[in-house]
Chains A and B, each alone.
Chain A
Amino acid sequence: MATSSSGGDKFTRNLVIGMVALVVVVGASFSYFGSKGSTTAAIPSSVSKDDGYGIVFNADVPNVPTIDIYEDFQCPVCARFEAINGITLEKAIEEKKAKVVYHVLSFLGTESILAANAAACASDEDKFLAFHKAFYANQPAENAGAIDATFLKSIGAAIGIDSPKFAACVDNGGYSDWVKNVAEAGAKANVNSTPTVFVNGKELDRNTEYFNVEAFTKAIAG
């Protein structure tokens, strides 16, 4: 079988192979460093680095189970999960029956990053849960261009956030580096789907415990 090529052709061949290899290496490096978190990222209040940069409720309540919830604001199944279990979780937080950590992932794309950033801004106003609930109740279609600063501020306004600080925070995307940190921690925690719920580090059963309020309530009791 012949594989020898003529002189000029060999040059073209090596040039193109070299260029393609360069693009692959440079592109992959950009992806890698672009998705890497940063230790100097601005972090919203109530976020704990030790909890995978998640937004933590009841951090200091002793002897209660820890519930880790990984979700993406654009994921439709997460909206369904919130509709079924949101109230149960809010109640657990309010009654200090559990430590709850929300990990806002962003693998569905840039609009997920915008939404996660805005949720962090709402967290600074002590309105994360309200924002979370209102967003899912009005969740737009995935990556349709509907999730922008105007939309996110309107969600904020609907739950009574009127501070200029929130508006500036949403506009500036000041927590987008933190969003990367959350994503990186989620990748290290081997989260492969949203929503994913861990109770004391053990994942709930996707077939029985995620979308049934009785089973879920029982599961998060620890």
Chain B
Amino acid sequence: MILNLIDKFALGKYGKWFGLLSRLILGGVLFAAGWLKIFTPAKSQMAVRAYEVLPISLANFLGIFLPWFEVGLGVLLILGIAVRLSAFFGGALMVVFIAAISQAWARGLSIDCGCFGGGGTVDPSETKYLSEILRDTGLALLGLYLFRYPLTRFAVEKFTKTQGA
């Protein structure tokens, strides 16, 4: 029922405009998040390590690679190229972030998510897990929408067939 409604909306008059908005929000956030971290790789590595999930060497690798990956996904989404693919990775990344933040919260770590630079251990009063999770949930949903309805306004890449056909 709800899916039908979403389908109706997405294929209706405003669907592609909402798609454009989703692209710009998800892409813009990914681009900004990556950009703010690529110039301080040591700090970004620290932020990944602070989740205490991955082996140190892998965390250090991700701390360097992730910001560039985010920038790349952001560019593709903003331009509107390979929307389905980049929305999939963007959304999946958000799901991973939500899982990582949740486990940190559940284990009682006090860290900053390091989403937009920063990160690492912080004072327990400075954690904001709930708002971080809610934000990433919203972004993940936008990714899901774009994955299902990748045809949007003002995308560089044009399609020959129509969406949902």
Contacts and interface: CB of A to CB of B under 8 A. Distances in A.
B76 A107 contact: no
Contact of B163 (A1, A5, A13): A1
Interface stretch (B15-23, B79-87, B90-98, B135-143): B79-87
B157 A12 contact: yes
A75 to B, nearest CB: 10
B89 to A, nearest CB: 11
A5 B72 contact: no
Interface residues of A, number: 36
B114 to A, nearest CB: 10
A107 B49 contact: no
A183 B76 CA distance: 33
Interface string B57-82: 10011001101110110011001011
Interface in B149-165: 150-151, 156-165
A2 interface: yes
A21 B49 CA distance: 25
Main secondary structure of the interface of B (DSSP, over half): helix
Contacts of B50: 192-193
Given A2-B159, A187-B49, A31 B121 contact: no
Interface residues of B, number: 46
A187 B56 contact: yes
Given A24-B71, A28-B68, A4 B160 contact: yes
Interface in A1-49: 1-6, 9, 12-13, 16-17, 20-21, 23-25, 27-28, 31-32, 34-35
B10 to A, nearest CB: 11
A20 B157 contact: no
B120 interface: yes
B42 interface: yes
A188 interface: yes
A218 interface: no
B40 interface: yes
A188 to B, nearest CB: 6
Contacts of A3: 84, 150, 159
B24 interface: no
A7 B38 CA distance: 35
Given A1-B150, A16-B156, A35-B41, 4 more contacts: A5-B160, A16-B82, A20-B75, A190-B56
What 8 A-B pairs come out closest when comparing CB atoms?
A2-B161, A193-B121, A107-B42, A192-B50, A107-B43, A24-B72, A28-B68, A31-B41
